[in-house]
Amino acid sequence: MSRMALLAWVLLGLLGGAILLALGQSAAAGWAWSITALPVAAHVAIGVARSLLGGKLGVDIIALAAILAAVAMSEPLTGAVVALMVAGGEALEGWAEGRATRALTALLARAPRQAARVTASGIEEIGVAAIAVGDILLVRKGETVPADGVLEDEAATLDDSALTGESLPVNLLRGGKLRSGAVNAGGAFRLRATHTADASSYAAIIRLTRDAAEARPPLARLADQWALGFVALTAIVAGGAWAWTGDAVRALAVLVVATPCPLILAAPIALVAGIGRAASRGIVIKGGGALERLARIRTVLFDKTGTLTTGQLRLVAMDVAPGMERDAALRLAGILAQGSTHPVSEALAGAARARALDLPLLDAPEEAAGGGVAGSVAGQHLLLGSQAFLARRGVADLGSLGASPAVVAVAGSVSWLAQEGRAVAVFVLADGLRPEAPRTLRALRALGVTRMVMLTGDRAAAAAPIAAALRLDAVQADCAPAQKIAVVQQESVTAPTAMVGDGINDAPALAAAGVGIAMGAQGTAAAAEAGDVVLLVDRLDRIVDAIAIAQRSRRIALQAIALGMGLSGLAMIAAAMGFLTPLAGAVLQEGIDVAAILFALTALRPGWREATPAPLPASAGLVERQAEHAALRHLAEALRDAADAMGAGPESLPDIAALEARLRAEVLPHQRAEERTLYPLAAQRLGGLDPMGPLIRMHTAIEVLVGEVGNLIAAAQGPDGWAAASGPLRRSLFELEAMLSLHLTIEEEALAEFNATAA
Query: Residues with Cβ < 8 Å from 701, sequence gap 6 or more?
Result: 739
3-state secondary structure of 195: coil
Could you give the CA distance from residue 653 to residue 663 in angstroms, rounded to a whole number? 15
What's the mean pLDDT when you consider all of the chain?
A: 81
**pLDDT for residue 639 is more than 50:** yes
**What is the greatest pairwise CA distance in the chain?**
120
**319 and 182 assigned to the same domain:** no
**pLDDT for residue 400 is more than 80:** no
Of 444 and 506, the one with more pLDDT: 444
In a domain, 310, yes or no: yes
- Per cent of the chain over pLDDT 90 is 15
Backbone angles phi, psi at 41, to 5 degrees: -60, -40
In a domain, 451, yes or no: yes
Mean pLDDT is lowest, of 271-280, 300-309, 573-582, for 271-280
Domains contained in the chain, number = 3
3-state secondary structure of 598: helix
What is the average pLDDT across 467-495?
A: 87
**623 and 478 assigned to the same domain:** no
**pLDDT for residue 12 is more than 80:** yes
Query: Residues with Cβ < 8 Å from 425, sequence gap 6 or more?
Result: 318, 319, 320, 321, 324, 326, 329, 330, 332, 333, 401, 416, 417
Beta bridge partners of 534: 284, 518
Residue 210 confidence class, pLDDT cut points 50, 70, 90: low
Of 150 and 609, the one with more pLDDT: 150
**pLDDT for residue 30 is more than 60:** yes
In a domain, 22, yes or no: no
**Residue that is last in its domain, among 465, 495, 525:** 495
In a domain, 36, yes or no: no
**171 and 313 assigned to the same domain:** no
What is the average pLDDT across 8-14?
A: 85
Could you give the CA distance from residue 153 to residue 589 in angstroms, rounded to a whole number? 62
- The CATH number that applies at residue 374 is 3.40.1110.10
What is the average pLDDT across 522-536?
A: 67
Contact 158, 170 (CB under 8 A): yes
* Sequence-ordered alpha helix ranges (H) in 376-523: 387-392, 405-410, 437-446, 460-470, 481-494, 507-512
What is the average pLDDT across 448-464?
A: 85
In a domain, 173, yes or no: yes
Reported as half-sphere exposure (CB side, CA atoms, 13 A), residue 260 has a value of 24
**460 and 341 assigned to the same domain:** yes
Domain span at residue 395?
298-495
**192 and 323 assigned to the same domain:** no
Quote the pTM value.
0.70
What is the average pLDDT across 26-48?
A: 84
Q: Which DSSP helix (H) or strand (E) runs through 570?
A: helix 542-576
What is the per-residue pLDDT across 572-614, written as a single tens digit (0 to 9) for each? 889 888 888 888 888 888 788 778 888 888 887 776 666 566 6
What is the per-residue pLDDT across 113-128, written as a single tens digit (0 to 9) for each? 888 999 888 888 898 8
Mean pLDDT is lowest, of 176-190, 299-313, 520-534, for 520-534
Catalytic residue among 303, 431, 502, 545: 303
**165 and 306 assigned to the same domain:** no
**189 and 326 assigned to the same domain:** no
Other CB atoms closer than 10 Å to residue 132's CB: what's the count?
12
Could you give the CA distance from residue 274 to residue 96 in angstroms, rounded to a whole number? 12
Q: What's the one-letter identity of residue 130?
A: A
Could you give the CA distance from residue 753 to residue 616 in angstroms, rounded to a whole number? 10
**pLDDT for residue 262 is more than 70:** no
Q: What's the one-letter identity of residue 454?
A: M
**444 and 311 assigned to the same domain:** yes
**422 and 302 assigned to the same domain:** yes
Q: What is the pLDDT of residue 294?
A: 94
What is the per-residue pLDDT across 698-731, written as a single tens digit (0 to 9) for each? 999 999 999 999 999 988 888 778 888 888 998 9
**486 and 354 assigned to the same domain:** yes
Could you give the CA distance from residue 212 to residue 543 in angstroms, rounded to a whole number? 17
**169 and 310 assigned to the same domain:** no
What is the average pLDDT across 188-200?
A: 86
Catalytic (active site) residue 303: yes
In a domain, 241, yes or no: no
Could you give the CA distance from residue 11 to residue 17 in angstroms, rounded to a whole number? 10
What is the per-residue pLDDT across 76-112, written as a single tens digit (0 to 9) for each? 888 788 788 777 767 766 665 565 455 555 656 667 7
- The CATH number that applies at residue 130 is 2.70.150.10
- Per cent of the chain over pLDDT 70 is 84
Q: Which DSSP helix (H) or strand (E) runs through 240?
A: helix 218-245
**Residue that is last in its domain, among 470, 495, 520:** 495
Query: Between β-strands 413-419 and 380-385, what pairing exists: parallel, antiparallel or unpaired?
Result: antiparallel
Could you give the CA distance from residue 244 to residue 107 in angstroms, rounded to a whole number? 57
Q: Which of 94, 543, 558 is nearest to 278 (CA)?
A: 543
**pLDDT for residue 135 is more than 60:** yes
**334 and 456 assigned to the same domain:** yes
What is the average pLDDT across 254-258?
A: 83
* C-alpha gyration radius of the chain: 34
3-state secondary structure of 197: coil
